Amino acid sequence: MKKILVAHDGSKHSDKALKKAMEIALSFNASLTVLSVIPELYLTELSDLDRERITRALTEETKIAMEKIRSSLASRSVETKTIIRQGPPAEKILETAQKMKVDLVVVGSHGRHGARKFLLGSVSSKVVDYASCPVLVVK
């Protein structure tokens, strides 16, 4: 196990996933990449200007969150990096996993906007279904 990718959406669930991913990275002496995907907004009732404003705010929020994560992990003896992508979250997580040839993808069972009645969030369930490497779903 050399490369671990953890998907972070700012939720408590993804904090737990990050913690677990870090434990695994430490014990395997693997590198850890933290990925956050800025979703595109499909709400048709939004004007282009509003869409742009919201996307800009989301981007800013994500940058700050990832910078916090980066500095909180800096003291660990694990090679870490944070990356931000934009687009459909599950697709971007899968694409990154494939491009980086990671050995493990770690996701939370739920995210920010979850309906708790589902066993798995829609992003984590897509990642489990379509990933070509092992996936750890952290509850």
Ligand X SMILES: Nc1ncnc2c1ncn2[C@@H]1O[C@H](COP(=O)(O)OP(=O)(O)O)[C@@H](O)[C@H]1O
**According to CB under 6 A, which one of 51, 100, 122, 133 is a site residue for ligand X?**
122
Maximum separation of any 2 CA atoms in the chain, in Å:
49
Q: Does 7 bind ligand X (CB under 6 A)?
A: yes
Residue range at the interface with Mg ion (CB under 5 A); choices 32-40, 50-58, 65-73, 109-117: 109-117
Who contacts 44 (Cβ-Cβ below 8 Å, separation ≥6)? none
CA distance 139 to 133: 19
Q: 3 or 13, CB closer to ligand X?
A: 13
Q: Does 32 bind ligand X (CB under 6 A)?
A: no
Q: Does 111 bind Mg ion (CB under 5 A)?
A: yes
Q: Does 37 bind ligand X (CB under 6 A)?
A: yes
Using CB distances below 5 to 8 A depending on partner kind, what does residue 107 bind out of Mg ion, ligand X, none? ligand X
The answer to whether the beta carbons of residues 62 and 84 sit under 8 Å apart is yes
CA distance 54 to 104: 32
Using CB distances below 5 to 8 A depending on partner kind, what does residue 39 bind out of ligand X, Mg ion, none? ligand X
| Helices of type H across 29-106 | 48-73, 89-100
Nearest Cα neighbor of 68 from 14, 23, 109, 10 is: 10
CB of 124 to Mg ion, least distance (A): 9
Q: Does 89 bind ligand X (CB under 6 A)?
A: yes
CA distance 69 to 86: 18
Residues forming the site for ligand X (CB under 6 A): 7-9, 11, 13-14, 17, 35-37, 39, 89, 107-108, 110-114, 121-124
